[in-house]
Every structure is written in C-alpha cells, then in structure tokens.
Amino acid sequence: MSLRLAVLGLGRGAMLTVPALAAHPAVEIVAGCDPDGAARAGFGGRCFDSAEALFAWGGFDAVYIASPHEYHAAHAVMAARAGRHALVEKPMAVSLAEAAAMVRAAEAAGTVLMVGPSHGYDPPVELAASLIESGDAGPLRLIHAFAFTDFLYRPRRPAELDTALGGGVVFSQATHQIDMARRLAASPVASVRAWTGGWGGRGSEGAFTALLTFDSGAAASLTYSGQARYDSDALAGWVGELGWAKQPQAHARTRAALERTDEAGAKAARTFAAGWPQPQAPTHHEHLGSLLALCERADLELTPDGVIVHGDDGPRGVAAPLPPVSRANVAEAFVRAVAGAAPPLLNGRWGLESLAVCHAILASAREGRDVVPADLLTGLI
C-alpha cells in the first residue's frame, strides 16, 4: 500500500513529525500547504498556499494537519468531507463543539481521524501501559507526573499566548500529560480539580496543577510549568524532551534569547522555512518531565530509555527499543489505521475526551470546584 500524504501547516510541529512520516515505507509525501511562502519554499515540491487550494487539487489520500490549533477543526472537517483521512496535531481543537464536529464529520464519512503525536505515544509510556496491562504489577492506583520547562519562553505566535485561541500551557502541554495518564490508567477520567497560574509576564496560563480521578478508582496528579527556571530534565539525566542531551543552562538561554530577538521572526525561523530537518537516529526516547505510576505490587518509573520497575526485589530496568526515527510508532499507527488493520487508540473521540479534561482544568481553576469532564460533553456528540 502507498499512502499519498499532504502536510497542512509547515511549522514547528510539522518539522518534528514529518521526518517519521516521510521515513515510513508506505508513505509518500505528495504536497505541502502553508500561507507562508518561505515555509513552502523550504518544504519544496508541490505546495499550496491555502487549504482550499490543496483540497481543490485533491491528489492525496490523507492529510497531516499541523496548522495552528484554531484551524484544526476547519481543516479536519474539510478532510472528512473530501473523504480524506486525517492525522491532526494536539490539541485536536480549541473548543469542545469544534472537536465534536470533527468527530461527527469523520464518523459520517468513515474516514480515520487520529490525534497526535502527543507524549502519550512515547515508547516508555507504551511500555509502561503494556506492563500494567500484563497485570504483573497489580492494579494502577496513583500517577504522579510533573514537568518544569521553558515552553512559554520559546518564540511564540500571539495566539499561543491567548487562552481564547488555545494559548497557554493547558491546551498545548496538559494534553501531553493527560494522554500519558489516560494511556496508563486505561479508564475514563471521572473528575478534575485544578489550579492554574501565570506569573511569567507572558499572558495566558503558564502553570497548572491538577488532580484527576478515574472511574477505576485510580488518581493522577499532574503538574506543569512552562515558565520554570528549574528544569525537570535534571531528573532525566539531562536528556531533553526530544530525546537529545541538553545543557543545564538551557532554560536561562531560552529566556535570554527571547529578550534579544524579534519573536515573530524567531518563531517563523523554526518552520520549514529553515529547510528539511536533517534525519538523525535518536539516542533516547522523547519524554515529558517525570512520571511515576504506582501500582499495587510495583511502582513504575518512566525514563527516556524505558521503565524502571521498582518491585519487592528492588529496581529492575526494562528498556524500550529505540526506533530508527522518533515518532516512527505514530506514523505506523496512522498507516495501519488507514489500511484498516487497527483503529487508532488516540482517535477523534480520545482527542475530544482529552480536550474535555483541558477544559475541566480551566473551569475547575476558574470556579474553584470539582469538574466532571463528561458533563462538558453533554449534548455535543
């Protein structure tokens, strides 16, 4: 099978994921689309300046949607109506109504709608999920995850700093931790109690902490700051989020660079305008901060290399094999879904439920109460 794939949005997210899609033997990248001429020039080949022009051409089977959050819904609905499969970046949309419309459109058309990549696909998360599923560790009781990053000080578009447009760390980063926790808990989120804060002078939410309970009775505490001077990768042997070695000065450098730069220009320079990323075999897995999954008979510590199982006999490392290219498992899951071999776990309904947890975090912080994510979806789907 050959999957003719178009890439819609040639920015930072696409730079991170397109190498895995392009490396998949069943995928042929046939077109790109971006309103920005420099990004199109760097991508090369057949390119269109609008989604409308891309779909009017139509020479593709599936589309990877990596446009800014606020366009995901329009682009995914366009894809479904054109009978094209879609891999849509996280978060799948900004509003729950938009996300529900995406799910309805794909289900009506019978097309694949897969959401990601998110850190929910990281091989150590997949390994931990399979270890929990095996039952050896006993039932999962508690997840403790935290990440302290410089997310908010990397160059950003104005929309990325405006909550109404999906800006801030809840929409962009909580999604990762929610997907990680949901994969391990394998149970619907029952309730959310949360707090958000932003003291970094960047607008929108810069940090949050959230307590999730699951129908299974398990709980997860998720904490994130994207305005941190402390770097939680100190606890990951100074392996950064993308799986490469990083320096302890990284956060300080990010802040200093932002002060002396034209932010819009710096953001644009991280797109395909800089040309195709050079393929490099990963030395560690992608990861986001730290995560401990405490089960009845063992505690699982996720690392950039796999999982350390802390059992009655002490700690035992289980390595997750390195892929030839990061995110290869995401490309494989999408290809298999399109081929009808296996429906994606992180499908449109999954993305909608994770987005509902993001909204529950914001609502709980605003209103000072427990929020049931399922209540936010009433009447939408």
Ligand X SMILES: NC(=O)c1ccc[n+]([C@@H]2O[C@H](COP(=O)([O-])OP(=O)(O)OC[C@H]3O[C@@H](n4cnc5c(N)ncnc54)[C@H](O)[C@@H]3O)[C@@H](O)[C@H]2O)c1
- The residues binding ligand X (CB under 6 A) are 8-13, 16, 33-36, 39, 51, 66-69, 71, 89-90, 117, 157, 172, 267, 270-271
* Shortest distance in whole angstroms from residue 99 CB to ligand X: 13
User: Using an 8 Å Cβ cutoff, are 114 and 84 in contact?
Assistant: no
Measured from the CB atom, the residue of 8 and 309 that comes closer to ligand X is 8
CB of 174 to ligand X, least distance (A): 12
Toward ligand X, which CB reaches closer, 157 or 255?
157
In the chain, the DSSP E strands lie at 3-8, 27-33, 47-48, 62-65, 85-88, 113-115, 140-148, 189-197, 207-214, 219-225, 290-295, 299-303, 306-311, 314-319
Q: Are 227 and 152 in contact (CB under 8 A)?
A: yes
Q: How far is the CB of 39 from ligand X (least distance, A)?
A: 4
For ligand X, which is the closer residue by CB, 191 or 326? 326
If the CB atoms of residues 89 and 353 are measured against ligand X, the closer one turns out to be 89
Element (H, E) at 185: helix 175-185
Q: Give dist(CA 244, CA 304) in Å, integer.
A: 10
Closer of 85 and 267 to ligand X (Cβ): 267
CB of 68 to ligand X, least distance (A): 5
Whose CA is closest to 133, among 287, 307, 288, 304?
307
**Residue closest to ligand X (Cβ):** 11
Shortest CB 316 distance to ligand X, Å: 30
- C-alpha pair distances (Å), 37 with each of 9, 12, 42, 48, 89: 12, 15, 9, 9, 22
Nearest to 117 by CA among 24, 31, 16: 16
DSSP symbols for 40-76: HHHH-SSEESSHHHHHHH---SEEEE-S-HHHHHHHH
For residues 218 and 323, which CB has a smaller minimum distance to ligand X in the complex? 323
**262: its two tokens:** 């034209």
**In the complex with ligand X, which residue's Cβ is closer, 67 or 177?**
67
Give the residue with the Cβ less far from ligand X, 158 or 188.
158
Q: Minimum distance from CB of 369 to ligand X (Å)?
A: 28
Q: How far is the CB of 241 from ligand X (least distance, A)?
A: 8
The pairing of strands 306-311 and 314-319 is antiparallel
Instruction: Identify the three-state secondary structure at position 115.
Output: strand
* 83 neighbors 144 (Cβ within 8 angstroms): no
User: HSE (CB half, 13 Å, CA atoms) of 163?
Assistant: 17
Q: How far is the CB of 226 from ligand X (least distance, A)?
A: 13
Closest contact distance (angstroms) between CB of 35 and ligand X is 5
Q: Which C-beta is closer to ligand X: that of 42 or that of 373?
A: 42
- 314-319/299-303 β-pairing: unpaired
Q: What are phi and psi of 300, to 5 degrees?
A: -105, 125
Residue 122 CA to its chain's centroid (Å) = 10
Indicate the residue among 92 and 189 with the shorter CB distance to ligand X: 92
CB of 317 to ligand X, least distance (A): 26
Measured from the Cβ of residue 342, the count of other Cβ atoms closer than 10 Å reads 11
Structural contact between residues 168 and 205, judged by C-beta atoms closer than 8 angstroms: yes
